[in-house]
Structure 1
């Protein structure tokens, strides 16, 4: 990529790699579990952070609250999550996995890890992948600190 800065090259590689990874993981999750990648991410988050608010998910994934709430509605319709009253704030609810949601998160998690091993592990190996983590974590942290890229609604 002659004539382009390191930042431009990094952006291009990050975005294209992320898009391909997300699509490939999503295709595998859809084929094996009938869910898309964004649904899996919500389930996985709730597995690790039980009784979260919709706003917590929205901030974590840098997605609007309206879109996050609709995503939770879809999971609730399928019986994978439920909303419970938030004792600290009557205007919000807490979202948690149901038993079928926990089962799905666990099964899809195995598929997710296997697909990452096939896609990332086979290309980079554990050592190279581990070396990239601090760099991406620092970039993500700086962006989060600035609230860069958060949707307005």
Structure 2
């Protein structure tokens, strides 16, 4: 039987080490922190997105997301415009400079991941399993199905 606590520890430590290595390399080679790279990837994949959608994807608060978008906007990598359908929100889209840095940084990230993780037949199964677990965790979080503070008293 799998030791779930050990699995959790391995996942967290691997994620931390990978994140730190990739973040350092992106900063050195592209002046782009990994967190900003992740934002740029999401915006590029969606064309235009709301700050709220970025926050949900990154699993951080809207306030933290808004500050991150401010930094990307200051760097000229995204543009924020008023949402014509909802005055309370804004829309975020890549600028040409954002698209350029994303295009330059993507092979760097992929090369670093290849060096660390490599490729193996089991990797595809791991990717599928992690994706499924992430979706389940996100669904559980949104529907508050996880352990609540209700004790029945």
Distance 2:17 2:95 in 1: 31
- Unmatched runs of 5 consecutive residues or more in structure 1: 149-153
Partner of 1:17: 14
Partner of 1:151: none
**Which of residues 66, 86, 89 in structure 2 aligns to 1:89?**
86
1:136 aligns with 2:130: yes
**Which of residues 17, 34, 37 in structure 1 aligns to 2:31?**
34
The number of equivalent residue pairs is 142
Distance 1:88 1:25 in 2: 37
Distance 1:137 1:40 in 2: 20
Q: CA RMSD in A?
A: 1.4
**Which of residues 45, 49, 53 in structure 2 aligns to 1:52?**
49
SS in 2 for 1:137: helix
SS in 1 for 2:87: coil
Once the two structures are overlaid, the 10-residue window that deviates more, 104-113 or 126-135, is: 126-135
What pairs up with 1:70-89 in 2 under 5 angstroms? 70-89=67-86
1:103-130 Cα offsets, whole Å, 9 max, x none, are 0111011111111111111xxx232211
Distance 2:11 2:40 in 1: 25
Distance 1:79 1:134 in 2: 35
Partner of 2:120: 126
Distance 1:41 1:65 in 2: 16
Distance 1:129 1:14 in 2: 14
Q: TM-score, normalised by structure 2?
A: 0.88
